[in-house]
Chain A
Amino acid sequence: MGKTFSKPEALSDAHTHYCPGCTHGIAHRLVAEVIDELGIRGRTVGIAPVGCAVMAYNYFSCDFQEAAHGRAPAMATGMKRVRPDLMVFTYQGDGDLASIGMGEIIHAANRGEKFTTIFINNAIYGMTGGQMAPTTMPGQRATTAPMGRDVEKTGMPIRMCELLSSLATPGYVERQTLLKPKYINKAKKAIKKAFEYQEANKCFSFVELVSTCPTNWGMTPQDALKWAEETLLPYYPLGEFKSPE
């Protein structure tokens, strides 16, 4: 009987530091599978964010740069403009992308930079220990919102796909999630589409993945999946928001 399942070549042998139940591992694997399927590992450069995925450079087996907090889209711009033949992706969390890096992501998307962004939205700061993110839900507790997010003082959660798809520049913007196998298959398709648009030099491509953070949400992995489906998905609807076609 032949081998039916193996680790993608684009993933390294390193053990990740991610918490049990965290969805980063799935997201990494999907990106790696797409890199393998497109046969682009030798000309792919990833950019790690600041946050839980800061050490993503250890987990992929392609070239990697590590950015400052939120600046990955600017680095990707610099890289892609001087080496358009490289396949470039940023991998960013919600604190990184939607807070400190808001300026960089919007302008990169609006310039139509030909790279791909994988956006992990788990509605909280992970690495720094559970502080409120721009994506934190109303009433959701965080270490800097101990009574729950008060939208009177902090505003409503920012929906990045909706925001980016309002730009007039053509682009590919899709939101999927990693909460269940049926969603994971769709997420993989979206990631592949994003890389294919980049390969065709078509447009900026952006895939948001609604994810979990059992540790900082204070839940078991199973409860986290349930909470995300009941609370996050109604506010962060799945689907394709924008396509260059």
Chain B
Amino acid sequence: MAKVLMKGNEAIGEAAIRAGCLNYFAYPITPQSEVAEYLAKRLPEAGGTFVQGESEVAVGYMIFGAAACGERVMTTSSSPGVSLMSEAISYIAGARCPAVFVNIMRGGPGLGGILPSQGDYFQATKGGGHGDYHMLVMAPDGVQEAVEMTMQAFPLAEKYRGPVMIMGDGMIGQMMEPVEFPEDLYVPPTNKDEWATNGMDTRKSDTKNIVKSLYLDPTVLNDHNLLLKSQYDRMKEEEVRFENYNTDGDYQALIVSYGTMSRVCKTAIDEMKAQGLEIGMVRPKTLFPFPEKAIHDAASKPGCKVVVSIEMSMGQMVEDVERVVKGKTPVQWYGQCGGEVPTPQKVMEHIQSLLNS
């Protein structure tokens, strides 16, 4: 299929349809409202369902109700909206329903701003809602990868029977890039008759299905949490994704960066290389599961003096980087938030000053 020029938000909407998701519920919030606007027009054409909920709280439960029927379902939002959805995400994780959430991050805390940010790293990877759960979190670095990850998110949500999140930012949502929609990423939905509340007649069964997250017996609840943990452990085995950049040779410093920030860092790395300074980078494509070994190994390479987690936040992913580098190499944070994306120049100046100090 030929490439088309599309805005990130619209491309995510189209990718959901191409992935076989015809059910979308959302509440407007900048900078992702174009997804809802696109799908409000496109889904009826495709024979799908669009509902504008009264709040992100309600949308979270519309997603839950639809997912509990075994249907592919997605919502998109931005940071403050995802906070409101976090209650439902906890219930969906507890009740083991597949669903796809997209967060086109904006600056926080509170209302913050409407420009790109990566301030929701903790929220996405460490919970957000209550209880012991995780989401599989994927972070695209552009519109093409946002399309691919959105298409991959549905089968992954079904494989692990839980919520999957795409973590974009305002830049990825708003910018236009040429994209294609790879047909081979379409995976037919799994059969969900074993657990879904799709009506006994639908599955020709006399046994009812119950979708719930309540387990009053402490032993049973502990077992339930162990079952959830086994899914997260399996994700760590099977779903870790990352990209190494300029790490084949020696390098004096290693950058860890994801999403929009990683593209700026690539430009800075290319520029420094032209000036004779070798800097490597590991770009996590999955934030949970985190590419622990890849970062540890790259940070342990002889000659690497420092690891810098560069983020559009005040230092969130850096905690995971420190955790996985395990003291092998000093770990630092550099970043900026509030909506201004650090320029390649600023990244270069920071790396150079670190190495000269």
Contact = CB atoms under 8 A, between A and B. Distances in A.
B213 interface: yes
B199 A44 contact: yes
Interface string A66-96: 1110010011111111110110000000000
Nearest to A79: B65
A65 interface: yes
Interface string B60-76: 11111111110101000
Contact of B91 (A68, A76, A77, A79): A68
Counting chain A residues whose Cβ lies within 8 A of the other chain, the interface size class is: 35 or more
A66 B212 contact: yes
B200 A77 contact: no
A41 B200 contact: yes
A206 interface: no
B266 to A, nearest CB: 40
A182 B352 CA distance: 86
B211 interface: yes
Contacts of A119: none
Contact of B49 (A65, A67, A81): A81
A171 to B, nearest CB: 16
Given A63-B199, A81-B49, A82-B69, A104 B61 contact: yes
Interface string B170-212: 0000000000000000000000000001111110000011111
B69 A86 contact: yes
B36 to A, nearest CB: 15
Q: Which of B23, B73, B208 has the most CB of A within 10 A?
A: B208
Nearest to A58: B210
B237 interface: no
Nearest to A54: B214
A180 B197 CA distance: 35
B51 interface: yes
Given A57-B212, A63-B209, A103-B58, A78 B197 contact: no
B68 A75 contact: yes
A63 B54 contact: no
Contact of B199 (A42, A48, A107): A42
